[in-house]
Structure formats: structure tokens, C-alpha cells
Amino acid sequence: MTWLYGILGLIFMVIIHEFGHFIVAKILGVGVERFSIGFGPVLFKVKPKKTEYALSLVLLGGYVKLKGESEEENVEDESDAFYAQPLWKRFLIVLAGPMFNIFSAIIFMMIAYHIGVNSLAPKVGKVLPNSEAQRIGLQKGDTIVAINNIKINTWREMSKIIKSHPGKPVLLKINRNGRILILKAVPQGKTITDLLGYKRYVGLLGILPSGDEIVVKYGLAKSVGLGFEKTVYITKVTIIGIVRLIEHAIPSSSIGGPIMIVDIAGKAAEAGIGAFLIFIAIISINLGLLNLLPIPVLDGGHLMFYTVEAIKGKPVSRRTQENFQKIGIAILLALMIFAFFNDFRRYGVTKYVENKIEHVR
């Protein structure tokens, strides 16, 4: 069942991406000949009107076949042909796929926070020796309910405040078997390396979580705000992450492919619909941003050609586009092979992605 959830999640993200191209093309009056989920041999198809809807064998992607995608096609009526449209229409149609991925993440996040997300409880599972927690008398089973009069709901909220106070005193409000205690602590400063490979000086108490989970829910207005906030945050982190990968600050072994996506999506589904939606949102953002990379064949490559066309006042020659597309295909194939290699090497070892999910939750 976990693999089924993962496959369905992957298909759903593809549908969202391709639906972006599809609906904007329809709105702008461009003909759509086929809307396909998957590549390769067609398993099922239906054509109620002008557009054929198909399900293909290889469910690792999808595509929208627009009428007159290139001038080489023989089109009787050019009024709704893609190549005959003004530049701004072509630009918006191509941009729509990645943008739908990113905008849909806001909705996924919003729903997740509204229906409830499983998060680690701010409950002490272990006190490390020679730590600040041991010095002030924190004990296993203590629950941190507030820091500096700020209410604490999750372990992440607690950790965020503690890390932001290295060497600075904080007041901890503790629930110990029903008794409320106030303890003063000075988090010990330590330099750590975060998920993006940056060195950070943070405060630490020296405690580990109990592993207990709680369901955190928010009202509609708060959920909408969190949907926007977390989507912006993940978008920013993803862009920085891509740059850090190029700089080799993040190990290339962290790159994953479809197998890892399916595996983690299934595990997220087991953790609850909230966790599953957050994971889908993260992958949807990644899919949107990766498609915006200026690599021919990807949406970003087409947008790059359109930008050049806008500057020069005339389209990039067909031969130049084809040459760049060959390079783009080679790059994509290399990335796919590398991602699959990482998947097979790490299969079942997914702590990196799980940490990213928990970081958002």
C-alpha cells in the first residue's frame, strides 16, 4: 500500500503540472490535441471533443500535445496553432506548468495544517550527560510547555527558540507529572552543519525527544498563512539547495529519483494525510523549480529561447534549438541515471528526505 500511495502521489503531481499547461492553453485559445499522463504506449484514451485524454504505460511523467507546436507541422487552421500565437501567450502557456506546481503546494500545505499534522511532542526522552539540561535538572518525561512565556506546541518550536539563544538565558516552563516548574537555562553554543551545508552557531540544551507525537491543527486563516509561509520557505530552501549542490557543499548522494519519491511518499502516507500532503507539496515545489532550469527540453529551456526572442525581436533558429535540445537531453539522461543509481544504492535509507519533511512539519 505504501508504494501505491507513492505512485498515486507521483501521478498526481504530474497531472497538476500538465494541467497547468493544458488549462492556460485552453483559456488563451490554443488547441490541445492530447493530454497524456505517462509516456510510451497508450493504455487508455478517450476523445470527447477536440482533445484526446490518454493514460500511457510509463508513469514517470506526462505531456500536453498542443496544436501546431512547431512550424513544421501541417496545420490547416493556424488561428489556434501554438506557433502562430504571440510571444506572451507562448510564454504563459509554458510557464503555467511549473507555476501550477508551486501554487498547488500552497493548497496542500494549507489543507495539511488545517486537518492536522503529526509532530514530535516537546517531551524529553533523554538528558545528555554534561549538558545544560543536566545542570538545571531536566528529567526524562518533562514536557516543555513554554519558553520565555512563548507557548510551545511541538519539539520543532522548542528547538527553534533554543537554537536562536546560544549563550543567552531562557526561562523554561516545565510540566513534570502535572507540576509546573520554572527553570532558567543558558543553551550551550555549538557550531553545526545544517542540511544545506552551512555552518551555524546555535544553542543546545542537550536533550533528545521522547518520540511521542501530537496532532497540531490550525484554524482556516492561520492555515492559509502557513500555506503561503511554508511554500515560500521551501521554495527558497530548494533554490539554495540547488546552488549548494552545484557548489558541492551538499553531497550529490542526496539526489533522489522516482524510487525514492515513491518510497518516501508511501511512508509519509502512513504517518497521516497531513504528512503526506506536506511531502507532496515539497516534491511539487521541487518539480516546478527544476522545470524552470534553463535546460533545453525542460520548460525553463523553452522560456530561455522565448526570452532571447523577446530581446532579439525574432525567434531562435530551429537548428540552434535542436542542437541545444540534444545537449539538454544528454544532461537529463545523465541526471536520471545518476538519480536512479542513488536510489538503488540507498534504497530503504531515506533519513535525508525524512529530515526535510520533519524540518517543515
| 118 phi and psi angles, rounded to 5 deg | -70, 125
Give residues with Cβ within 8 angstroms of 129, minimum separation 6: none
pLDDT in tens, 326-342: 888 887 777 777 666 76
Domains of the chain: 85-116+217-361 (no CATH), 120-215 (2.30.42.10)
Give residues with Cβ within 8 angstroms of 340, minimum separation 6: 257, 258, 259
Q: Which pTM does this prediction carry? A: 0.78
**Residue segments in the chain with a per-residue pLDDT below the cut of 70:** 1-3, 6, 60, 248-271, 338-340, 342-361
What is the reported pLDDT for 344? 67
* CA–CA distance, 62 with 37 (Å, rounded to integer): 4
What is the reported pLDDT for 3? 66
Burial class (CB in 10 A: 0-12, 13-18, 19+), 47: exposed
Report the Cα–Cα distance between both ends of the chain, in Å, rounded: 23
What is the reported pLDDT for 349? 44
What is the reported pLDDT for 348? 47
Amino acid at 29: G
In which residue are the cell numbers 518510497 written?
A: 263
The residue from 18, 52, 69, 322 that is catalytic is 18
**Do 101 and 16 meet the contact criterion of CB atoms below 8 Å apart?**
yes
Share of the chain above pLDDT 70, in %: 85
What is the reported pLDDT for 236? 87
pLDDT in tens, 153-191: 999 999 999 999 999 999 999 999 999 999 999 999 999
* CA–CA distance, 60 with 65 (Å, rounded to integer): 17
What is the reported pLDDT for 103? 94
Is 18 tagged catalytic? yes
Give residues with Cβ within 8 angstroms of 56, minimum separation 6: 36, 37, 38, 39, 40, 41, 42, 43, 62
